[in-house]
Amino acid sequence: MECDTPVRAITGLLLLAAVAAPSARRADSERRFLYVAAPGIRNYVEHGGIGILVFDIDAGYRFVRRIATFDVPAGSAPENIKGIAAHAGTSRLYITTPLRVAAFDLATDRLVWNRQYPGGADRLALSPDGRLLYVPSFEGPHWHAIDAATGDIKAKVTTESGAHNTIYGPDGRHVYLAGLRSSTLSIADPATHTVSGGVGPFGHSIRPFTINASQTRVYVNVNELLGFEVGDITTGRVLHRVEVTGYQKGPVKRHGCPSHGIGLTPDEREIWLTDGANSMLHIFDNTVAPPRQVASVPVRDQPGWITFSLDGRHAYPSTGEIFDTTTRKVIATLTDETGRAVQSEKVVEVVFAGGRPVRTGDQFGIGRRP
């Protein structure tokens, strides 16, 4: 049975009295903010504490406020955030933990609903119209299709793959489902909530992945590979296996695979890839096939995720640095209200105008080329 779960009253509105909201500062123009869910590296509170941290992109990623999320009972570990998604039209922000899904109002920071589901939850995806969530069970056999307005379950899609990562196609016609125990990427039809196709098998179980805007290519991390593989979504075939050169695989702190994080720049010209053992990001030219390694840049810890700003000017590795994608230099680092370095694998951009959200990014570095 699904059930509502009590949480601490949201204090974001009170915090707004101390830190002006986007509309109070500049109601006549757009303002961009980065929403960072914590703990977003497992349940490690040392990387930003507990809550949703908001940073002002236009003010050099200055910390703005912290939105309270869930109480932690005495003697219990905090719930690590597994995924984040947002939608401007419905003014909603969603986060998942291994236990629950919670929805917040982007305009007020108010908690809208908080639900638990059979099998738990992992990295969710939101339909382009903001009406439907696809939520994987926590490394379990199925995904739930959930009404984004109410949290009610609408359907169940079973793959028996160790449900984990989810991307909703930009046109809303397909949902891409990756399981920890499968080397094939499942493709679901959200009109019927059935598996309608797949890509693979790849060289090993699929970990993080991303897609281009036209949904013809998928780029996947797989276990045991420092690099990535490329698949053709239209035919289901694997096209390329691309290995990082000049660096060796080594032990990693988390996730158990050498590369856990891959993203396309919005113009789809580059692929940015994480390298945990070497604490590096490797950059590939995606205008050629197979993609060609062109640069490598260090980060301050072992990275486990990468995504980008909507305009493609900034890269967001999970280690908390902000990279200029043109110069490939660090231009800022995320720190919270105490000056503590912030790291998270669950971040999303939200653009406001007149105090209301008007555009949102995505936790995955998906392609956006028209």
Over residues 113-151, the pLDDT tens digits come to 999 999 999 999 999 999 999 999 999 999 999 999 999
**Total domain count for the chain?**
1
pLDDT tier at 282 (50, 70, 90 boundaries)?
very high
- Mean pLDDT across the stretch 7-12? 39
Cα–Cα distance list, 148 to 2, 94, 172 (Å):
15, 9, 14
Q: Are 332 and 343 in contact (CB under 8 A)?
A: no
Q: How far apart are CA 136 and CA 144, in angstroms?
A: 6
Q: Are 311 and 266 in contact (CB under 8 A)?
A: yes
* H or E segment to which residue 23 belongs: helix 22-26
Residue type, 226: L
Q: What is the pLDDT of residue 71?
A: 87
16 pLDDT higher than 50:
no
CA neighbor of 63 nearest in space, from 51, 72, 71 = 51
368 falls within a domain = no
Q: What's the pLDDT tens digit per position in 314-340? A: 999 999 999 999 999 999 999 999 999
Domain CATH code at residue 160: 2.130.10.10
4 pLDDT higher than 80:
no
Q: How far apart are CA 176 and CA 198, in angstroms?
A: 9
24 pLDDT higher than 80:
no
Mean pLDDT of the chain: 93
pLDDT tier at 6 (50, 70, 90 boundaries)?
very low
Q: What's the pLDDT tens digit per position in 251-277? A: 999 999 999 999 999 999 999 999 999
8 pLDDT higher than 50:
no
87 pLDDT higher than 90:
yes
17 pLDDT higher than 50:
no
User: In sequence order, what are the residues at sequence separation of 6 or more whose Cβ sits closer than 8 angstroms to the Cβ of residue 62?
Assistant: 55, 56
User: In sequence order, what are the residues at sequence separation of 6 or more whose Cβ sits closer than 8 angstroms to the Cβ of residue 204?
Assistant: 183, 222, 223, 224, 225
CA 175 remoteness from chain centre: 15
pLDDT tier at 75 (50, 70, 90 boundaries)?
confident
| Bridge partners, residue 275, by sequence | 280
- Which one has a higher pLDDT value, 341 or 5? 341
104 falls within a domain = yes
Tokens of 14: 């009170």
9 pLDDT higher than 70:
no
Q: Are 143 and 134 in contact (CB under 8 A)?
A: yes
Peptide bond into 303 cis (omega under 30): no
370 falls within a domain = no
Residue type, 214: S
19 pLDDT higher than 80:
no
- Residue 58: DSSP 8-state: G
369 falls within a domain = no
> How many CA atoms, within 13 angstroms, populate the side-chain half-sphere of residue 196?
13
254 falls within a domain = yes
Share of the chain above pLDDT 70, in %: 92
Q: Are 46 and 343 in contact (CB under 8 A)?
A: no
Give the structural domain span for 89.
3-360
20 pLDDT higher than 70:
no
- Mean pLDDT across the stretch 281-295? 98
117 falls within a domain = yes
* H or E segment to which residue 260 belongs: none
Share of the chain above pLDDT 90, in %: 90
Question: What values do phi and psi take at 13, rounded to 5?
Answer: -65, -35
Q: What is the pLDDT of residue 28?
A: 52
